[in-house]
Structure 1
């Protein structure tokens, strides 16, 4: 009887059906694990210098550009420290990792799964926030579905950045954050060496570029220009950051400005709309005017008087929304319209552009109708899409509400 040796197959791992793992995935997973381990080892081998971190924090928060972005204020949503300051504090504290990650996007369901985290690698303290973000935004008291991919991205990043702010505040020491807040508030009060008069002038000019008049600013702070205090300027700075960086409409903070009517030229009296000019009768054309049906046109060699037609009234039911006006203003800025000169000169340049584009006199951007604003925004979008390499730079999220 012969002995026959039968070789049995060795044990091997079989991937579950439908869950095959590629070699590249295995390599990436191994790399990620090794990277985390290395970060912890490096952080613990090079511990932070707390005294140096405190000194850097005081120096950084003592600078006006940083203090200007250190706070946010949004009507009906509260106020506090902004994500800009929290990121800066995480950098100064050292050995800290943070960010936002979009885990999943489901366009059919209209939701995205987003995760925000902050991780102190030295103490191995980690804080995470995971949430489902609908592809919607609130308009008034109703939800509005988002279709544009850029709108969805900005909404996800906006909510994610707010979550990052909370995560960072969870891993940083409370005393470190409190001292940074105090230094920023003192910097806003003192203005980094600039006088109150100079800062007031800069504030009025900056707000004028966004359609906010000095009278509106005075009404907001409850004080006349020239009597603004450092605390009032600090408040205005927080509002300016919310308007320019957080996408909050200026109308959320300021009451509507009165309609500005330019004085008549050459001393001519102003004529109500629809009334006959002085020196004429109903049914008879003014000098230089076209012939009126059924009447002989009055002829004269006298120079034609200046246009006395007052600005068109604001049509409230069809008025452009604050978001449309803000988007048009941003598009004009990007095209260099109204970027030079004083506040009034910049405003006049933009109004002249809108007047030419719409074919009618535009005395204020609030006189635009929704249809006109929509047409202009479509035109801007088409121009941007036609540019070579039209992918825009990744925008910073709007984190401060």
Structure 2
């Protein structure tokens, strides 16, 4: 084996690089062979009467796994402010199954084992400054996220005590009134909202059934947060369930309360996906899948179109007048068939009734004026007798056909 004693990188054709090798024992090169000459280096000797060879380094393919990360997280700002009695929420989403723990001034306040999501909220801490830390740990990795939380006394203005924080009236931070116990998992996305621009919030972690939220901005509000919450059960903000089979309940919050209004946004829509396995297992008619929104005490079905599919999911997009609590629903094929059959039978009966009544009402002869000297009765009676006679001939013909 040779020893590499010096390597110099070149700077182009006029300044080539070189390397120097040192051998402590004779080196024999065989024609048409590949030989190790140093650690990680080989000579490829050509099949030639003259000694010709080139040096190469054999590269090995290495699979690099994504490092553990805690993103998205909330709040986005590292320093936040609130008042005594106000509810403050912290949550972290990890890209790997981890043990996630939240600490308040070094004391553990929430832990999730073998999870990808942790959510914690508190409204009982007294005024003061707190250090909040979330850690995610796997067997080989550990990451953390830190916040400085300033809680002011009720009735005081502590906005100036922080260099950042959510702004009021604009896009802002998107809070949530949903019970934390009912949230299975959530994902956040941030975008800068500028008047006249199309804004698309994409959820790249793919931990919920929502792919994106889009709208046209009618007002510049700056950086805005959108939160998607996938729920365990129907939202605690709703009083009833929508009709049909339920695929998922969810909440979508865009910006601060009141931001997602017709004065601020236009053409809002939601992109979502539904598992093919759920459709097959429940016998769902694909064309009945839709997004429903709860508003003003009732559920409304939203205009929903299929946009495509992949190996595991069907992808849809629904137009919505606003953002609040939603449900993705569908109808079983059996229930649709029964409904259609009932409608057809009802239509058939109605058709028979209308046909039989039209014999007397819409007979063409009844519209002709009666001849002079003829009464209405003498004109009408023969016509009513003619039609049953025709029906009798047709029925008799069918009977003869059967005998043959």
TM (norm. structure 2) is 0.20
Q: Tell which structure's C-alpha radius of gyration is larger.
A: 2
Higher helix fraction (1 or 2): 1
- TM superposition score normalised by structure 1: 0.20
More strand by share: 2
